Every structure is written in C-alpha cells, then in structure tokens.
Structure 1
Amino acid sequence: MRIDYSLYLVTDRSLCGSRSTIDVVAAAVAGGVSCVQLREKHLPVREMIAEARQLISFLRPLGIPLIVNDRVDVALAANADGVHLGQSDMHIVDARSILGPGRIIGISAESVDDAVTAEQEGADYIGISPVFGTMTKTDIAEPLGIAGVREIRRCVGLPLVGIGGISAANAAEVVRAGADGVAVVSAIVSAASPENSARELFMHVQSGRAN
C-alpha cells in the first residue's frame, strides 16, 4: 500500500469541543488530510474499537488509511491499516509478528539513532517527534528543530512525518527540511473550521515541496 503522508491528522476528542471525532475527521479530509491516526489515550478499549471501525467505514472508501496509536490489539480487532508506536510501546518485531506484513507500522523517533534503528527493524515510516515545542503532549523529548529533521532525512530513506508544534506558519519549512508530510493535532481538531485549517496546512505542505 502506497501511503500519502502529506497531511497526517492525529485525533484527540478532548480538543474537539462539542464536535464528534468523525465529524472533525470528515471536515479535515474535505480540506486535504491524507492519513488519520486514532490517538485516544483515555478511551476504554471497546469504545476505541468502535470508534476505529466508524472511522474506517468512512475513510477506506476514500483510500485514506487509519493508523491506531499504541494499541496493536485495537488495530487488529478493528482491521485498521496499521499502528503507530512510541519508543516505550510494543517492539516493532513483536507488532509485526502479530499484524503480519501487510499493515503499516510507524515509529516515533526522538533522535537520529531512534530513526536509524526503526528503519533497520522494518518500520514503514517515521514520526519525527517533536519538531517544535507542543502542549498537546507533555511526555516528550526536547524539540529536534529543523536541523534535526534535516539530519534524520540525511540518515534514513523511509517516509518522514514531522509532528509537534506544527502549524500553517512552519509546515512548509518542515517539508523543505526533508519531511514527506506533517502531522497535526490541535491545529486542525481545535480549529473553528477543521476543513479550512486542513486546506491551509495542505497548501503550505505543497508550497514546501515546490521550493
């Protein structure tokens, strides 16, 4: 499966206000989101599986993958397209043995060494985390900055997605540094218009590729 990581939406229902996750995702997709990650740290497992299935029923006919954060069991139960794992989550070798060869496995990299190891162990893409400072996650390393993106791009050949403090003001710069796309949470899910916010971000991603 060839994945377009250009504009990668990470969900967070606590930041959606009165809107449902599916409504925010639908609006964001209309604006140009090309990949969606279900990340709901505090959702009971049955609810998370149900939400994953609802998202898949909407996204799959559009050819947009759903990635599940952390939870290999949820991804398998819901028949999601893959999982995204952090440095303290299930090891990629174990996840691959459970999920099989056909599903996507993304790995968060907080350093060049993390990224090189992820590539060697068979990751499908790397989330460079965090590029900039962010309030969405508090348990993260120091920001890698644009220089960090460039260095990871120099060292690995996998698709790279920058996450952490990404906005319309800096998305193009992240792509120019070598990222294949940007991942966002609050910049879309908390926006007054997720569709318009996604469209603006997508425009800046494309601008970064053109320069």
Structure 2
Amino acid sequence: MIDQLHYISQSTENTSHLEAIEQVLQAGGKWIQLRVKDQPETTVLELAKAANELCKKFAARLIINDFPEVSKAVSAYGLHLGLNDMSIAKARLIAGNKIKIGGTANTFADLQKRVAEGADYIGLGPLRFTSTKKNLSPVIGFEGYAKIMEQVKKSGFTLPIIAIGGITEADLPELLKTGLHGVAVSGILTGKTDAENRIKRMYSELQKHQLSTTLNS
C-alpha cells in the first residue's frame, strides 16, 4: 500500500528532523520519509531508530532515503533511492524483499528504468524549483507531467507515481488530473502550526480524485 500523501522530512533553524516528523505525525501524516543529507550513516541510523518509534506510536509508515542498510536495521516500511544512488535491484539485495522501494525519476526514460529495476513506486519530479534539494534535476512543470503520464498510460505501467518537488496545496487538482497517484511535500508542512488542516484538505482532495478515477474506470 503506497500512501497518496508523502511527507519528506527536513530540518530548519528552529526544527530538527525528529521534531518536524513528530509534528506532522501529530497532524495526521501517515507516510514519513526520513531524508537526511550530509551526515554519516551512524547519525542517520540513530535518527531512523527514533523516527521509527514515533511512526509506530502514530501507526504511520517510515521510509528511509538513500540508506538501505539503515532501512533494514530499523525494519522500516520502505526505502527511497535518488537518481544518483545505487540501483533498486542492488538495494533490494541489502534491504530484503519485504521492504517497499521507491525511486526518483525526472524523465520517462528514468521511469522506464525504475520499472525495469522493480520499483514499488516512483517519485516523479520536480514540479518546480525547491530549495530542499541541492542537485535539482530539470524542472518538469505541469505540461511535463501531462506528457509523461500520457506516455505512462500508453505503456501500460500501473505502479503508483508520486509528484515531487516544490508542490503546494493549490497544485493538487492540476497534477492529479494527469493520473498521478499522489504527491510528496515537505516545506508546506514543516513547522506549520496549521499542518493538521493542511493535511486534512490534501487528503480530501486526494481521496476525491481517487473516487473519481474509480468511478470512471
């Protein structure tokens, strides 16, 4: 089961990764990706252990970004790999067959590669510029999503595809009409006092889209 709303953790001047994750969990988030950059694996492991306990407390699912050994060590629900990380096939040898593995894609060719590698879901993006990622891939934009998702339909791919990269609440209707499964967000929830209302509104939009897709299929 791949949730329709993914939260990707980030730290700010006033909020640590764990504080941000706990706030989103308290607000109703159910799919948490721990994304820690420029830190040693030992540090990520300790954060992952704490994040996993928080997710268990709130009956949520923890996804580890980049570190297959860490995902295995904490028995995380999933692992997410960027375009420049190891292959999904190699990561699965480390993390095991039970774990859900997602991979980032920027083009339809990337997406085909991820499907061939055996991804369980794909993070497609970025929609627009985002400061949360240093080495940002070329921006796709709404037209890019429409074009790629049309190629996806023609190819018969059925695995869930998640839009990522600078996404706001207002973007959901336009993105979801392309056939995307859901969205991944970060800054629009991190440290926000109204995160609970934001999550409720986004889930409502996502579920409305899912219902419409089901009725029209």
TM-score over 0.5 (shorter chain): yes
1:84 to 80, 90, 102: 80
Overall identity of the aligned pairs, in %: 30
State whether structure 2 residue 18 is matched by structure 1 residue 19: no
- Provide the residue aligned with 1:143 in structure 2: 139
Match of 1:161 in 2: 162
> How much is the aligned-residue C-alpha RMSD, in angstroms?
2.1
Residues 10, 20 of structure 2: 8 Å contact kept: no
Q: Deviations over 1:97-147 (max 9, x none)?
A: 111110011000000011111112100000002122222223122221223
Distance 1:135 1:23, change over 3 A: closer
Structure 2's unaligned 5+ residue stretches are 213-217
1:121 corresponds to which of 113, 117, 122 = 117
Check whether the contact 2:20–2:191 (CA below 8 A) recurs between aligned residues.
Answer: no
AA in 1 matched with 2:172 = A
Indicate the SS of the match to 2:135: coil
1:111 aligned residue: 107
1:168 and 1:204 in contact (8 A); partners too: no
Does the 8 Å CA contact 2:121/2:161 hold for their aligned counterparts? yes
SS at match of 2:37: coil
**Residues 169 and 144 of structure 1: is their aligned pair in 2 closer, same or farther, counting only changes over 3 Å?**
same
Give the TM-score normalised by structure 2. Answer: 0.85
Q: CA shift at 1:59, angstroms?
A: 1.3
Q: Deviations over 1:128-187 (max 9, x none)?
A: 021222222231222212233332342421101101110111123212221111101111
Structure 1 Cα separation of the partners of residues 159 and 38 of structure 2? 30
* More displaced 10-residue stretch of structure 1: 171-180 or 149-158: 149-158
> What do the CA deviations read for 1:49-91 (whole angstroms, capped 9, x no partner)?
1111111112135442211111112212222122111111011
Unpaired runs of at least 5, structure 1: none
Q: Aligned partners of 1:191, 1:200: CA distance in 2, in Å?
A: 14
Greater shift in the superposed pair: 146-155 or 182-191: 146-155
**2:76 aligns to what SS in structure 1?**
coil
- The 3-state SS of whatever aligns with 2:170 is coil
- The 5-angstrom pairing of residues 1-211 of structure 1 reads 2-4=1-3, 6-13=4-11, 15=12, 17-150=13-146, 151-152=148-149, 153-154=152-153, 155=155, 156-209=157-210
Residue identity in the other structure for 2:48 = A
- Contact 1:8–1:184 (CA<8 Å) still a contact in 2? yes
Q: Give the whole-Å Cα distance in 1 for the aligned partners of 2:60 and 2:191.
A: 21
Aligned partner of 1:10: which letter?
I
The one of the two structures with greater contact order (alpha-carbon pairs below 8 A, sep at least 6) is 1
Offset at 1:93?
A: 1.3
The one-letter amino acid paired with 1:180 is H
Note if contact 1:7-1:35 (Cα within 8 Å) is conserved in structure 2: yes
Query: 1:35·1:66 contact (CA, 8 Å) conserved in 2?
Result: yes
Q: Secondary structure of 2:79's match?
A: strand
Q: Does the 8 Å contact 2:2/2:160 carry over to 1?
A: no
